[in-house]
Copies of this chain bind each other. A is one copy, B any other.
Amino acid sequence: MDIRLASLGFGNVGRALVKMLDEKAAELERLHHLTFIFSGALTRTSGGWISTRGVTPGELAAGEWPGGSLPVGVERFEGDSRAFAAGCPAEIVLELTPLNPRSGQPAIDHIRAAFAAGRHVVTANKGPIAYAYPELRALAGEHGVSLRFESAVLDGTPIFNMVESSLPVTTISGFRGLLNSTSNYIRSRMAIGDALESATQDAQRLGIAEADPTLDLEGWDAAVKATILANVLMSADLRPADIERSGVSSEAMLAKEQALPPGHTLKQVVVCCRSEEDGAVRASVHLQALPESDLLAHLSGMETGLTLHTDTMGNLTIIEGKGGPGQTAFGLLSDLVWIAREFF
């Protein structure tokens, strides 16, 4: 079974996905009878192309695009991104454009256009899920297609797919976690005496920090992820601005660092719960001094983790050892295989 992919955005994660699809091509064929080919890609800076024959992950990985010449035998695509989402001949559209943390656009429109053209969507972009999940889920249902987004939180760590496949009839009443690897990395460095500035620069060099690191440090990235988890896993209807963020500025961090009680560790902690009084779901991002008895205090370096509070299994915690473009790409691959199993 050949499945054609069209990619909106083609940066670090897109290149990591191409590499992984190439390396895993034989296993995908043997275990799942699947062959993925690219029928097009579009980037803001290098333009786009479409191929009716399709370009294999191996050909794409070996070539120089984006940055160099187009893959052999493709046509240049001249339209805008919505036209690409609707027109590129593919079964699945990959939405990999950069996060717009204020509105989720234009990625939401890309997904709407793909659905209207009968395509499934797999995305690593947090924006559309944080800003438009209920609408997009309903729209996918109307068009008989799938929207999957494992990589939106903790890269490819199984959360959404795990809950759907392996926690049936389970009510999630809340969650708690360290969701932002950059802030955890920087907090770990500061705990051993390094300065905020040098730790931040290193996080950027490692490719884990957002271009604007205040999105990480001041809790915006975590707030977007908390919104997604609350809306998807707890049927809430929050927006990132609804997430309480306090004490997350650099000044507050340095002041809390000074006043840290012995044996405590400062971490950027996301907490979400459903109120027993009014049933409302509330979430927050705080810099908290965690005692030694708290498991989250012991996540260090680039580790991130999430504890789900469930009625069936009590507390379940999942920890990602180290995230990066390769792990995000794996979440996309996992979603691609999921859709293929379900629809093809």
Q: Residues of A at under 8 Å CB distance from B?
A: 20, 24, 27-28, 31-32, 150, 155-158, 161-162, 165-170, 292-293, 295, 297-300, 303, 305, 307, 312-322, 326-327, 330, 333-334, 337-338
A28 interface neighbour in B169, B319, B338, Cβ under 8 Å: B169
A323 to B130, CA, bound (A): 33
Q: Is the CB of B157 within 8 A of A313?
A: yes
Of all chain B residues, which has the CB nearest A158? B166
Smallest beta-carbon distance A273→chain B, Å:
16
A32 interface neighbour in B156, B168, B321, Cβ under 8 Å: B168
Chain A binding surface SS class? mixed
Q: Is the CB of B167 within 8 A of A334?
A: yes
Q: Is the CB of A317 within 8 A of B321?
A: yes
Q: Is the CB of A295 within 8 A of B313?
A: no
Q: Is the CB of B162 within 8 A of A158?
A: yes
26 contacts between A and B (CB under 8 A): A28-B168, A31-B168, A31-B169, A32-B169, A158-B162, A158-B316, A161-B165, A161-B166, A162-B165, A162-B166, A165-B165, A166-B334, A168-B334, A169-B333, A169-B337, A292-B298, A295-B295, A295-B319, A298-B298, A307-B321, A312-B333, A314-B322, A315-B321, A315-B322, A316-B321, A317-B319
Smallest beta-carbon distance A200→chain B, Å:
23
Residues of B within 8 A of A320 (CB): 313-316
